[in-house]
A and B are shown apart, each in its own frame.
Chain A
Amino acid sequence: MIYYALKMLFGDKARYLGILVGVAFAALLITQQGAIFVGLMERTYSFVADTPQPDLWVVDPDLQHHSDSKPLVGQKLFRVRGVQGVEWATPMFKSFTKMRLPSGERRGCIVVGVDDNTLVGAPQSIDSRNGLDLRKADAVLVDRADIEKKLAVRTPDGGTRPLQIGDVLELNDRRAVVAGTFSINPSFFWDPVIYTTYSRAISYSPQERKQLSFILVKVKPGQDIATVAARIESATGLKAYTESGFKWLTASYILEKTGILVNFGIAVLLGFGVGTAVAGQTFYNFTLDNLRHFGALKALGTPNKTLLAMVLTQALVVGLIGYGLGVGGAAAFGALIGGTSLAFSLPWQLLVITGVAILGISIFAAALSIRKVLYLEPGVVFRG
């Protein structure tokens, strides 16, 4: 009878397509808006994701996100290094400063300084003539994604050219030479990022009493990261975040302060609501159209549980197909914008969330109809 239920569903092409469009639209909107939202959220903490070496990020307890400026006194680095279970701890500097391009234009940028000796914290994908070029005098690395756009150099003929290795910049009125480029994940923040050594980065920034932005910590093998974090916090009065904790600190700040979650939540709820209404109404009409046939089946001796299984199967199958189409459409959208600067990320958790939402829509649609079928008087078939 389940097979016949599906034939009843697929045979009524107009209604079937109507339900399918409703479900697929809901799945598409929930997945696509969700993926853009997740993509944007991932960009808020891309700086942390691009620095995979440390187990812990030690920061000022009042720090609200990774671009917040709450520097630490330098001695804290030595206190951290002395904590039991710490294998190594290196300084990292991060600050906004002013940049002057070779053609004279000025713009703001973010300078990140990594440990002079170990270069821990430097981007993983560096393209330079020599991996150690960062240690040369005045050397800085620039983001490959920026050299043709944000850091493009104006030429005498009125055009532009990409910033090149060997070009000389001015950072806070000090000389800096482009020694190479790197690739990092796109960021939620818009200023170009420049990497250099810790000591040089400090010289490129306005003088302050405290200069240490973060302490990057590696925990000794076999040591529990949470335990070492607690020890650091106890010994220094600072806050020690794991990578995921530091990511969430930034993401939650953005969520809270920008209203971005509400905006995307509204779009997702709209998709869910419209999908539920369209699919529910169309499926209900489909059942009403078939009520006479359900009545005949009931008169012929079809038990209620079989009718229930038939209606549920119809709703779930159309839900599954609509889910596939919607998610497929969202994935195609993601592939289409893959090479652009638009944010899009489709983790498996989002597919599960969309699946649960579509399951909810399908069950809602079925529930509207099941009641009608179960309470249907089979004698209806004798009325003309």
Chain B
Amino acid sequence: MTTLAPAVSAIAPEGNTRPIAVRCRQVTKNYGSGNSTVRALRGVDLDVFEGEMLMMVGPSGCGKTTLISVVAGVLDRDAGECSVFGKDFSALSGSERTRFRGQTIGFVFQSFNLIPTLTIAENVSVPLLLNGVGRSAALKKAKDMLAVVGLGDRVNEAPNRLSGGQQQRVAISRALVHDPKLIVCDEPTSALDHETGGRVMELLRSVAMSGNRSLIVVTHDNRIFNFADRIAHMDDGIVDKVVGSAKDLYGPNMAAK
């Protein structure tokens, strides 16, 4: 039988005045039923502040991806409370939820998820189109955004003509182009080498963090921990530690982890 680590509060202390972007209380999520039930989230408490980059770390299968899926409204929780900028996804209808997600949240995926038959400018323009912007205006804004991430001269190329790092920069552009207030990144550097990953994180830090935007970054990559404002450690379906730096989490010999 596994001995579970005691849950440590990851919520804002009483009297906190920092605006909260994401608020989770006792969030649970199970997969399957009966004897094969997997308890992915066992009562997660977590606050993410506006203007901070929170990294979520922990062993594989600890529930990180499930938690960001619930936070981003792409997965229903079983119990508990979870709100994003005060809106609870479970209180919204399907179409309201889709619209709110499209307006409020930007996504950066581990495998980029760019549509290979569209140009990179067209890929970046998708969130704008979904928010009602006309195609030509959306493309113009997408190209401007690509220029910000250093791909202004490659806007008409197909994603598969770019390197992994460049594709992730396209994905970051797509996540930012409609100016969402929350960015959810799932393993944004795991498909990239150390140097490229570092550059991607610098870009996220410099571009995405502007405008008091909040970022939740799920990662295994301890090389990028130093970009975080806070690090939430998950294990066995709960957030068991929230610390200010990797050193606080793993001790001085962080690289060993």
Q: Residues of A at under 8 Å CB distance from B? A: 1, 3-4, 7-8, 10-12, 292-293, 295-304, 306, 377-379, 381-384
Task: Note all chain A residues with C-beta closer than 8 A to B113.
Answer: 292-293, 295-296, 381
A307, chain B: closest CB distance, angstroms: 10
Task: Note all chain B residues with C-beta closer than 8 A to A295.
Answer: 113
Q: Which of B105, B116, B186 contacts A382 (CB 8 A)?
A: B186
| Chain B residue at minimal CB-CB distance from A11 | B117
Decide if B122 touches A7 in the complex (CB within 8 Å): yes
Decide if B65 touches A382 in the complex (CB within 8 Å): yes
8 further A-B contacts with Cβ under 8 Å, apart from A300-B174, A306-B130, are: A4-B118, A7-B117, A292-B113, A293-B115, A296-B115, A302-B126, A304-B94, A381-B113
Q: Residues of B at under 8 Å CB distance from A? A: 65, 68-69, 72, 74-75, 94-95, 98-99, 101-103, 105, 107, 109-111, 113, 115-118, 122, 126-127, 129-131, 135, 174, 186
A303, chain B: closest CB distance, angstroms: 5
Question: Which of A4, A292, A382 has the largest count of B CB atoms less than 10 A from its CB?
Answer: A382
Interface SS of A by simple majority = helix
Task: Note all chain A residues with C-beta closer than 8 A to B174.
Answer: 300
A-B contact pairs, 20 of them (CB 8 A): A4-B118, A4-B126, A12-B117, A293-B113, A295-B113, A296-B109, A296-B115, A298-B74, A301-B99, A301-B127, A301-B130, A301-B131, A303-B95, A377-B75, A379-B69, A381-B74, A381-B109, A381-B113, A381-B186, A382-B68
B166, chain A: closest CB distance, angstroms: 18
A242, chain B: closest CB distance, angstroms: 57
Complex CA–CA separation, A384 to B186 (angstroms): 9
Complex CA–CA separation, A300 to B102 (angstroms): 5
Q: With A301-B102, A302-B102, A379-B69 given, is the CB distance from A384 to B111 under 8 Å? A: yes
Complex CA–CA separation, A158 to B136 (angstroms): 79
Task: Note all chain B residues with C-beta closer than 8 A to A293.
Answer: 113, 115
Q: With A299-B107, A303-B95 given, is the CB distance from A379 to B75 under 8 Å? A: yes
Q: With A4-B122, A7-B122 given, is the CB distance from A300 to B127 under 8 Å? A: yes
Task: Note all chain B residues with C-beta closer than 8 A to A7.
Answer: 117-118, 122
Top 9 closest pairs, chain A to chain B, by CB: A301-B102, A11-B117, A296-B113, A378-B74, A379-B69, A379-B74, A379-B75, A382-B65, A293-B115
Decide if A383 touches B65 in the complex (CB within 8 Å): yes
Complex CA–CA separation, A4 to B68 (angstroms): 28
B71, chain A: closest CB distance, angstroms: 11
Complex CA–CA separation, A379 to B109 (angstroms): 11
Task: Note all chain A residues with C-beta closer than 8 A to B72.
Answer: 299
A310, chain B: closest CB distance, angstroms: 11
A349, chain B: closest CB distance, angstroms: 38
Decide if A8 touches B127 in the complex (CB within 8 Å): no
Q: Which of B101, B107, B129, B131 contacts A381 (CB 8 A)?
A: B107
Q: With A299-B107, A303-B95, A378-B74 given, is the CB distance from A11 to B116 under 8 Å? A: yes
| Chain A residue at minimal CB-CB distance from B69 | A379
Q: With A292-B113, A297-B126, A382-B186 given, is the CB distance from A8 to B118 under 8 Å? A: yes
B201, chain A: closest CB distance, angstroms: 19
Complex CA–CA separation, A384 to B112 (angstroms): 10
Task: Note all chain B residues with C-beta closer than 8 A to A304.
Answer: 94-95, 98
A115, chain B: closest CB distance, angstroms: 71
| Chain A residue at minimal CB-CB distance from B127 | A300
Complex CA–CA separation, A12 to B115 (angstroms): 11
| Chain A residue at minimal CB-CB distance from B190 | A384
Decide if B99 touches A303 in the complex (CB within 8 Å): yes
Complex CA–CA separation, A303 to B99 (angstroms): 8
Decide if B69 touches A384 in the complex (CB within 8 Å): no
Task: Note all chain B residues with C-beta closer than 8 A to A377.
Answer: 74-75
Task: Note all chain B residues with C-beta closer than 8 A to A384.
Answer: 110-111
Q: With A4-B126, A377-B75, A379-B75 given, is the CB distance from A300 to B107 under 8 Å? A: yes
Task: Note all chain A residues with C-beta closer than 8 A to B111.
Answer: 384
Task: Note all chain B residues with C-beta closer than 8 A to A4.
Answer: 115, 118, 122, 126, 129
Question: Which of A295, A304, A381 has the largest count of B CB atoms less than 10 A from its CB?
Answer: A381
Question: Which of A12, A293, A379 has the largest count of B CB atoms less than 10 A from its CB?
Answer: A379
Task: Note all chain A residues with C-beta closer than 8 A to B122.
Answer: 4, 7
Complex CA–CA separation, A11 to B114 (angstroms): 14
| Chain B residue at minimal CB-CB distance from A302 | B130
Decide if B117 touches A8 in the complex (CB within 8 Å): yes
Task: Note all chain B residues with C-beta closer than 8 A to A306.
Answer: 130
Q: Which of B75, B98, B109 contacts A301 (CB 8 A)?
A: B98
Complex CA–CA separation, A384 to B218 (angstroms): 12
Task: Note all chain B residues with C-beta closer than 8 A to A3.
Answer: 135
Task: Note all chain A residues with C-beta closer than 8 A to B98.
Answer: 298, 301-304
Question: Which of B102, B131, B186 has the largest count of A CB atoms less than 10 A from its CB?
Answer: B102
Complex CA–CA separation, A128 to B75 (angstroms): 87
Q: Which of A10, A11, A382 contacts B109 (CB 8 A)?
A: A382
B172, chain A: closest CB distance, angstroms: 14
Complex CA–CA separation, A303 to B102 (angstroms): 9
B187, chain A: closest CB distance, angstroms: 9
| Chain B residue at minimal CB-CB distance from A297 | B126
Q: With A379-B74, A384-B111 given, is the CB distance from A1 to B130 under 8 Å? A: yes
